[in-house]
Structure 1
Amino acid sequence: MSIWQPIADPSAGFIFRLSDSLRILENNNTGLLASVANGSLFVASDYSGQHKGATHESYSFLITTDQALGGWLPSLRDFRQRWLPDDRRISFKKLNEPVRWRALPAFLETVSELSGNLVTIMIDRNVGSFMHGGPDATIAAFPDCFPLQANRGTVEKMLRLASLLALILSGFRNEDQDSILISDHDEALDSHDKRECFARLATYITYGLTRWQKPAGHYFSTTELPFVPAWSEDVAAVPDLVAGAYCHMSGHLPAFLGREVWQLKVASRGYGNKRAHAICEWLASSRGALRHVLLRLEQDAMGEVRASAQAFRPRQNSL
């Protein structure tokens, strides 16, 4: 039985193409995704590649449930007591610090035990705005989500994040299933007003994709808020690690090969970054409860934006 609920409307543009590519991948790979239908949906997100010189942006989402988290948190506590009892935070940027680097393999092994899905979307910097007409058109289309003087870069960033979150919710969530998003604290969500605007924007886009009439609640939060449990930072660290690694790996993984279904062997060396290499090796070899896939948006030689979906196949050491 398929887990992914594909978007049916091609007018959804980039989001439809991403959804359809995952539909194709799941149809050809039994057990690709884990069910997250039982309990409240829990989504943690982070992204990378907003710095100058990056060729891609990566948006990563960890999708699980409160029931799965309840069964997994004792393993996380055991990891913390043994490897990071001083409450140091795991993050891709801080892995060069020796204590965190030594703790990384045990952290990834612990993460593998969590039942859920890890979906990362990598977007080529040559891909244009997610809204025809760019940020000005976005502000005009969603006047209650952005002030007229809003920074245009922030508008596009919020639009992309809201669109991708809507993709995740429409693909995994049921209408009567409540959900919560935990995101890192950054410029798109660094104030109450921005979080309120982002919540409205994501709600509008999700409704456009699903046409849900009476959806259960969806709640938004960041790791910086005082009422968020301490373990949420470790959960949010997972998409942070993977988003950072995929940005460094972008030149080593295929974008699309001109066929609907394909496999390709990828060398497990030469990434040029030991942090990305370690996380890539985990993605390629992990056989735990956590499933993971990569979606990509790239321009082809003709300038057309195309989508692909990829997943590591550990037994054959290929994609």
Structure 2
Amino acid sequence: MTLSIGIVGTGWFANEHAARLAKFDDVSVRAFCGTIQEKAERIAGRYSGARGYDSLVRMLDDNKLDAVYLCVPPYAHGELEFELVERGIPFLIEKPLGADLEIPTRVLQAVEAKGLLTSAAYHFRYMQGVQQAKVLLEGRKIGMALGYWTGDMPGVSWWRRFDQSGGQFVEQTTHIVDLLRYLAGEVTEVYANYAQRVMHEKESGVRVPDVGTVAIKLASGAVANIANTCILPTSHLTGLHIYTDQGVLELTHNGLRDIRSDRTTEYFNRTDPYETESRAFLHAVLTGDASGILSTYADAWLTQQVTVAANRSAAEGQPVTIA
């Protein structure tokens, strides 16, 4: 059976997912939806038989799709998901789920009421180094973790507006928060400090903090701190360091370093996590076996809850408890 897939979005993530899906023998990319018809048609033209649309409703009416990939900015979520839920069409959604928690909460309620199959594209979970870390942590006690997302500011205008992106902690650093949850357990409290230091003086329309640090308490009793900034001229450090009773696990895009007193072992990421997450999702669509999906919409909502709580803490100047 060949699965027919539609993609909403025409940006980087849409292109990356489409390129990988086109390599799968059992998948056909049938349609693209964007805010501009011509742009959707342009990307659709790269795939045999695909068509471009400027309306999700028309795309769904014209095509019998088995699943849809949602690759849109945080502020664009809501009606797209509700339409897919109503029609019972499984979807894979790029992070974050929204710019705040209000729409994701409503979508979660709709997804759970329908019993709809979903996958959230927290691709770090599918990295080989992360999976190895999960195995190693079974025999260790976590004391604390330090996370980082440090680099430059994305060039798109919506990213610089707090109401549209949710800010860096929601839009980018969500990956590190999710990784912390996946490996170290649930978060019970956050205390955030943000500031505008550089970018609002260098670029027009910047309304988001450009530095921030978030102190975190975990249900296990462990503590963590995650820092982010977008004031740098280039990418610097992205990752999570986990401090345990047997040494340090350093996770980056490249893989895992297991640092112990007598040796250091490196595990490299040699597979494509975007491809792995798609394979898991599409296998679930085809067979109903969702065991390979490492983050559902409901799981991603818990990460969204933490990042939005951090924004609230920064605004109120006090810790926020997470139920």
Give the TM bin, normalised by the shorter chain. under 0.3
| Higher RCO (CA 8 Å, separation ≥ 6 residues) | 1
- TM-score relative to the length of structure 1: 0.26
Q: Could you say which structure has the larger radius of gyration? A: 2
